[in-house]
Structure 1
Amino acid sequence: MIEAVGLTKRYGAKTAVYNLSFQVRPGAVTGFLGPNGSGKSTTMRMILGLDEPTEGHVTIGGQPFRQLSNAPRRVGALLDAKAVHGGRSARQHLLCIAQLSGIPARRVDEVLGMVGLQDVAGHRSKGFSLGMGQRLGIAGALLGDPEVLLFDEPVNGLDPEGIHWVRNLMRKLAAEGRTVFVSSHLMSEMALTADHLIVIGRGQLLADMSVKDFIAHNSAGHALVRTPDDPAQREKLSKVLSGAGAGIQPEQDGALRVSGLELPRISDLAHDAGVRLWELSPHQASLEEAYMQMTNSAVDYRSAQDPGQGFGQAAPHGPEAPAQSPGRHQPPYGSPQPVPGMQNPYARPAAPPPAAEVPAALPPAAPAPVPAAATTPTKPEDAV
């Protein structure tokens, strides 16, 4: 079990983690969620003894990581899949770790087979793709057959087959009674993999509960109601449900999103009003929606609300469109403002002045006289 008590980490004036307390229990996959910069990586580094807490403490099985006897055989971790010597083969990399930890060499071949790298075990890791590097990092975490495992973004770069494999691996390890702590930004994967969630924002604890409770506490379910394609029927039902205290939101496909009423109550009200229903189905918010709702105020790096913001408008067409020379550089984001004293790099050059008219016929030019000193002798006796 992993236990953090009052965990705080400061880097100068920056507080990365503040008064963080939680437990990661064995037998379940615990997801570790939070926006970028929330302190997840710092917390995992303190768990593994890579960073010293400013205040508080964190233990694994009741002891700090640095005091564990033969820690690599008790704790396996993947924090950075790129932390590999590129000149070593996959087998050499794992063999070095095994020899330092007293792990038999045969275990290296076992984990290479588990992660699917047995066919490239002799290849240098610098030629591995991102997904292959992730598999090698997972193999290193599994090398000592540990009871506690920590993974930071384990599915990064994996294809769908690899993601499915990691998901099943995490659940299998937890089913064996191990402690599995997984940090990820993929809410869809966490919804399928994790049993419990620890959510932090700006270094502080926001939630410590099961996935089911987390969704229930941070979102509101609704019912999707669909009537025959009759605006009058739909309007009638909307008035009846609104009068009963329901919240009504029309969908683009003509359905109604109804909140605040249970499905049997919606059905009874529709029946009493004489409105036929083609669909009446419950809908629960996803983990992603619940997560966005909870962490909305804890996001430090927020993107533009409009995905197209920052991109220039399409160039006008037709007779009013400015002519453009092929290959001429155009300003990427609108017309820049001119700076006094500086030539505008996007300004089109002024048209050259019209050339003077040339007469239709010109008299033949007289040959220019050749200086005597420049004449060239044609015979040897002429040169005397």
Structure 2
Amino acid sequence: MIEAVGLTKRYGDKTAVYNLSFQVRPGAVTGFLGPNGSGKSTTMRMILGLDNPTAGHVTIGGYPYRKLPNAPRQVGALLDAKAVHGGRAARNHLLCLAQLSGIPAKRVDEVLGVVGLQDVAKKRSKGFSLGMGQRLGIAAALLGDPQVLLFDEPVNGLDPEGILWVRNLMKALAAEGRTVFVSSHLMSEMALTADHLIVIGRGQLLADMSVTDFISANSADFARVRTPDTEPQQREKLSAALTESGGHVLPEQDGALRVTGLPLPRISDIAHDHDVRLWELSPHQASLEEAYMRMTQGAVDYRSTIDQKEGLQQPLPPGAQPPMPVPGQGQPGWYAPPPPQQGGHPFAMPPQGAPGQAPSGPYGAPGGTPAPPAASAAAPPNPYAQPPGHSPQPSAQQPAPQAPQPPAQPAAQAPQAPAVPAGEAPQAPAMPAAPAPQASAAPAPPASAPTSDLTKPEDPR
């Protein structure tokens, strides 16, 4: 069994996975779903000890992967089918892995037969197609006959026959009591293969439940009702009767009715009581793809502008983070993760508190990085208001009546305007703000750019 508790992984200022907790139980195929960039590959790498979590831990059978004795014989994984030396034959590649793990050589020939590569065992892998590379990666995962298996996109590049073979293989491995953890983007295949689903978005847990519960929790089931097309009055009569009984009726484009809020037996009884003949009364349940798209719509990072224009995906406001609902909480089979550490949203900057207070949120937790938010919070008031080594006292030493004196004495006091700021450079632009002649001479492009007197000589036309 795989158990993750509070997994968090940060790469610099980017949080890839935050407080992720779940369990992958044996005897079932557990699907791992999420949009691109949601942290699926990072989570699998942390399970296999390839990446160290910033916080939290993950165990396999109660032990971290690195502490498992002879881990290749207990855990098999396929993360990248291309991670094979192209100049090495398929059999030699598997034989090398077997010798490193103390696996007999006869096991190599067995797994080659399982994946169907026995006829090309002596060919170099650089000539393999994408599907053949996937089969070789699956053979490497099965080499040690492990009890725990992790697959990242195992059907990528396979033909329909190969997809069916992988599906049956996953189910057979789970039926033997093994732990099977599969990540895939093919919703139709996951609906046929997986028994349980773990869905994440932007590094956070969105759902941890069975496939049936996931579809029911993220789709609006309805009944499709159809009356004779030659009798439109019966359609209107049934629609009014269903509405009076508490149902919600919407017309379909083909003339049928979409009814929600009433079970099918109740709809049939209402139609019978009002002498309405039915040509169709069928339940409709959303597919896994529809339920998945509905849940993860707010967690998609890469959005097409065409989809936004057509209303298929609503754009998020800049900096806004959608709520992360977890439907199914409290239902049977729900695994409640431990509460997160003190803090707020993982992707929001921590609140700016008092100078002596430590920032809250994930950056304030042990191992976080509170310095960048604090530096950004203190940056605005200091950089350009007062240059280093300068104090506001020179402005106090300069008498206030001297500001209007330069216009009164054009010959004697005019040269003193550049002479006074020689030691007090920052006060020169601020002092002659009122007189019009000096305002044009002062370097203040933003204030003088909109005036018509300056735009005329600078206009090239």
TM-score by length of 2: 0.65
- Structure 1 position 273 matched with structure 2 position 262: no
Unaligned runs of 5+ in 1: 310-384
- Counterpart secondary structure, 2:237: helix
1:80 matched to which residue of 2? 80
Note the C-alpha offset of 1:308: 9.9
Partner of 1:219: 219
Query: What CA deviation, in whole Å up to 9, does each residue of 1:83-128 have, x standing for no partner?
Result: 1111111111111111111111111110010001111111111111
Instruction: Describe the SS at the equivalent of 1:188.
Output: helix
Paired residue type of 1:219 = S
Provide structure 2 residue ranges, at least 5 long, that are not aligned to the other structure: 311-461
Aligned length: 309
Going from structure 1 to structure 2, the CA distance change for 1:159 and 1:259 (only over 3 Å counts) comes to: same
Which residue identity is paired with 1:91? Answer: R
Quick one: distance in 2 between partners of 1:308 and 1:289?
20
Question: How far apart are 1:243 and its partner, in Å?
Answer: 2.6
- Superposed, 1:115-264 pairs within 5 Å as 115-230=115-230, 231-264=232-265
Give how far 1:52 is off: 0.5
Quote the residue 1:376 is aligned against. Answer: none
Q: Which has the higher contact order (CA 8 A, sep 6+)?
A: 1
CA drift at 1:224: 1.1
CA positional deviation for 1:242: 2.3
Q: What amino acid is aligned across from residue 39 of structure 1 in structure 2? A: G
Q: Secondary structure at the match of 1:271?
A: helix
State yes or no: 1:300 paired with 2:301.
yes
Alpha-carbon separation, structure 2, partners of 1:290 and 1:57? 30
State the distance in 1 between where 2:168 and 2:45 align. Answer: 25
| Distance in 2 (alpha carbons) for counterparts of 1:48 and 1:266 | 53
1:307 Cα deviation (Å)? 9.6
Name the CA distance, whole Å, in 2 between partners of 1:307 and 1:83. Answer: 37
Larger mean CA deviation between 299-308 and 123-132 belongs to 299-308
Please identify, of 293-302 and 6-15, the stretch whose mean Cα deviation from structure 2 is larger.
Answer: 293-302
**Alignment partner, residue 20 of structure 2:** 20
- 2 CA distance for matches of 1:97 and 1:253? 60
Matched letter for residue 160 of structure 1:
P
Rounded to whole Å, the distance in 2 between the matches of 1:224 and 1:142 is 46
- CA drift of 1:235 comes to 2.5
Give the TM-score taking structure 1 as reference length.
0.78
SS at match of 1:224: strand
CA deviations on 1:197-222 (whole Å, 9 max, x unpaired) are 11111101111111111112222211
1:90 is matched with 90
Higher fraction of helix: 2
**Secondary structure at the residue paired with 1:291?**
helix
SS of the aligned residue for 2:22 comes to: strand
Give the number of the structure whose alpha-carbon radius of gyration is greater: 1
Distance in 2 separating the partners of 1:164 and 1:250: 39
User: Residues of 2 paired with 1:54 and 1:43: CA distance?
Assistant: 12
What CA deviation, in whole Å up to 9, does each residue of 1:354-373 have, x standing for no partner?
xxxxxxxxxxxxxxxxxxxx
1:247-283 CA-partner distances (Å, limit 9, x unpaired): 2232233222211111111112212222110111112
Mapped to 1, the partners of 2:63 and 2:39 lie a distance apart of 22
Query: Which residue identity lines up with residue 246 of structure 2 in the other structure?
Result: G
CA offset at residue 306 of structure 1? 4.4
**After superposition, what is the alpha-carbon deviation per residue over 1:179-214, rounded to whole angstroms, capped at 9, x for unaligned?**
000001111111111111111111011111111111
